[in-house]
Amino acid sequence: MSERLQILGLALCLSACGNGGGDGDAGVDGGARLDAGPRPDTAVDVGPLPDAFSTDDAYVAPGTDAGASDTGQWVMGYYAAYQIDMYPVDQIDWSGLTHIALAPMVVKADGTIDYRFSAFGTDAEGRTFAQSLSSAAHAHGVHPILMLGGAGLSDHVLPAMNADMAGFVTRLLGVMDELGYDGIDLDVEATGFAVPELTRLASALRAARPSILLSLPGAVVEYGTHPEAGLATLVGYLDRYFIQSYYGGSDGLFTGSGPTGGFQSWFGSAMSDANDQRPFAIDHSFDELVAAGVPAEKLGMGVAFYAACYLIPNTTPPGGSDVSGPRQPAYASSSYCWDCGIGGGDNDYPLSAFFAAGGTYDHAAASARMFDTVAGSSYLSLPTATMDSHCGGRTRYVVYETPQSLEARGVWSRAHGYGGIIVWTIQQGWLPAGAADGMERNALMQALRRGFIAPP
């Protein structure tokens, strides 16, 4: 077993022991491929705590002070303005965060900033809320960040840069100062906006404000490819470069007959075990990025606070078996397809709904609640096809985050000297009262704190 997997195994053990039952896009080009080797038997159910550990050794109850330690890790949670009601500001568990990113800050066609954050009726309402969020963050020792752009909301950034870069940077910094924020997350997703354009913007912002906090949520590095040239130069202007490793890859979970044997069912944020048939894993991306000159301490992973489902019969191979777990053939009518036959996802299946009393997870037997020790990921493997309205159909295989998986990621990140994690979005992970397994409402935030910020 490699040193990487030995450390991941330790992380999973510590995480399981601490769970206590649940309280709680840069482009790529083609290149050489790595051999992932044979796959060990990785599926385990989450049973009793091992005798060698106790909850006192590895668990801190939600709401208590574990004594913050300077681990150097970022835990940056995205707070989408359009999801305010899902997690009111006065309920945020700030102890699980080091940074919070208000999303989205949108550039208008005239190059000015839209203060409505895609949620408010007027600029004045948006300003008031943004200022209240930054004030609350600072009061709890958390850095507030503004997320610039987002999918479908970034088209006017490049024209504004080309028209008057100095003026555009001045406007961005002015908004940041007016609203009380410490930095900007460069989530610019638009045609023609790649590493060179991101480097221009990041370098201009850094030159104008050397103390600014700058982050960027980039693409995962698909198996068999390498990072785009110039990425290391771009990251030199950033404080953190995160990969959008959640939901399989930046564009979703793969299905179809593409590689030899076809794509296989996989996880939202697999830690390891990538190959042609499941072409994304965090360790592979990080290895490639470090080899390309990106400092390990600036690299962070990404997770999502929502569940995804492989639908039946959509992903069932003709004449084959339904997908009921990882590394199984996942059918699509085309050879190479993102999210075809995948249900649930962002906004449709938040973990607040997934872990709610009376739902699919709550009704699932303990034997169906599985954990993959190599991929570091949780999943449901249901014995029969189950109708789930949040999935949008019937399913036997659901992937999601748990306190166990989140803590394991933190142990692994710290052990390897990486830089932390982003979460999309923290509102989707605020659990309802009476959640399954007696999980506390902020159980996921507490797991982030234990894993990344204040290890037990």
Q: What is the mean pLDDT of residues 43-72?
A: 37
As given in the structure block, the two tokens for residue 263 are: 């794509």
Lowest mean pLDDT among 7-16, 246-255, 277-286, 383-392: 7-16
Res 67 pLDDT > 50: no
* Cα 383 to Cα 329, 354, 367, distances in angstroms: 17, 18, 10
pLDDT digit string (tens) for 132-155?
A: 999 999 999 999 999 999 999 999
pLDDT digit string (tens) for 187-204?
A: 999 999 999 999 999 999
What percentage of the chain carries pLDDT values higher than 70? 84
Res 5 pLDDT > 60: no
Domain that holds residue 355: 306-400
Residue 391 lies in a domain: yes
Q: What is the mean pLDDT of residues 321-347?
A: 93
pLDDT digit string (tens) for 400-434?
A: 999 999 999 999 999 999 999 999 999 999 999 99
Q: Are residues 285 and 354 both part of a single domain?
A: no
Q: What is the mean pLDDT of residues 379-399?
A: 98
Measured between its terminal Cα atoms, the distance across the chain in Å is 27
Q: Are residues 167 and 299 both part of a single domain?
A: yes
Q: Are residues 411 and 362 both part of a single domain?
A: no
Residue 352 lies in a domain: yes
The residue among 101, 190, 126 whose CA lies nearest residue 153 is 190
The DSSP element (H or E) to which 420 belongs, if any, is: strand 420-424
* Secondary structure of residue 66 in the 3-state scheme: coil
10 vs 126: CA distance, rounded Å: 45
Res 25 pLDDT > 80: no
Type of residue found at 79: Y
Which residues share a beta bridge with 200? none
Residue 180 lies in a domain: yes
The residue among 67, 92, 103 whose CA lies nearest residue 142 is 92
Evaluated on CA atoms 53, 54, 59, 65, the torsion sign reads negative
Q: Between these two residues, 290 and 17, which has the higher pLDDT value?
A: 290
Listed ranges 38-47, 167-176, 261-270; the one with the highest mean pLDDT: 167-176
385 vs 391: CA distance, rounded Å: 12
Residue 39 lies in a domain: no
pLDDT, position 259: 87
As given in the structure block, the two tokens for residue 400 are: 């999601």
pLDDT, position 46: 35
Evaluated on CA atoms 103, 107, 112, 117, the torsion sign reads negative
Residues 6+ apart with CB under 8 A from 58: 14, 17, 18, 450, 456
Q: What is the mean pLDDT of residues 364-379?
A: 97
Which residue pairs from 169-174 have beta carbons closer than 8 angstroms and sit at least 24 positions apart in sequence?
Answer: 169/201, 169/204, 169/205, 169/208, 170/208, 171/111, 171/112, 171/113, 172/113, 172/148, 172/205, 173/205, 173/208, 173/209, 173/212
Evaluated on CA atoms 195, 303, 395, 326, the torsion sign reads positive
Res 43 pLDDT > 50: no
Question: What is the CATH number for 108?
Answer: 3.20.20.80
* Cα 82 to Cα 104, 109, 199, 406, distances in angstroms: 9, 21, 29, 25
Among 400, 418, 439, give the residue marking a domain's end.
400
184 vs 238: CA distance, rounded Å: 10
Q: Are residues 209 and 344 both part of a single domain?
A: no
Please state, rounded to an integer, the average pLDDT across all residues of the chain.
Answer: 87
Residues 6+ apart with CB under 8 A from 228: 26, 27, 28, 29, 194, 195
**In degrees to the nearest 10, what's the CA dihedral of 196, 197, 199, 200?**
120
Residue 37 lies in a domain: no
pLDDT, position 13: 42
* Cα 404 to Cα 15, 73, 77, 86, distances in angstroms: 5, 18, 18, 23
pLDDT, position 249: 65
pLDDT, position 35: 28
Residue 416 lies in a domain: yes
Q: Are residues 110 and 163 both part of a single domain?
A: yes
Q: What is the mean pLDDT of residues 78-103?
A: 98
Q: Are residues 358 and 222 both part of a single domain?
A: no
pLDDT, position 175: 98
Res 213 pLDDT > 80: yes
pLDDT, position 70: 85
pLDDT digit string (tens) for 221-248?
A: 999 999 999 999 999 999 999 999 987 6
What percentage of the chain carries pLDDT values higher than 90? 80
Q: Can you say how many angstroms the Cα of residue 12 is from the centroid of all Cα atoms in its chain?
A: 18
Q: Are residues 138 and 207 both part of a single domain?
A: yes
Residue 38 lies in a domain: no
Q: Are residues 153 and 299 both part of a single domain?
A: yes
Looking at the 3D structure of the chain, how many domains does it have?
2
Q: Can you say how many angstroms the Cα of residue 423 is from the centroid of all Cα atoms in its chain?
A: 4
304 vs 428: CA distance, rounded Å: 9
pLDDT, position 258: 87
Among 400, 416, 446, give the residue marking a domain's end.
400
* Secondary structure of residue 75 in the 3-state scheme: strand
Q: Are residues 206 and 287 both part of a single domain?
A: yes
pLDDT digit string (tens) for 44-57?
A: 333 332 222 222 22
Residue 183 lies in a domain: yes
Q: Are residues 391 and 284 both part of a single domain?
A: no
Res 292 pLDDT > 70: yes
Res 6 pLDDT > 60: no
- Confidence band (pLDDT; 50, 70, 90) for 252? confident
Q: Are residues 193 and 284 both part of a single domain?
A: yes
- Confidence band (pLDDT; 50, 70, 90) for 261? confident
Q: Are residues 348 and 422 both part of a single domain?
A: no
Lowest mean pLDDT among 219-228, 243-252, 349-358, 381-390: 243-252
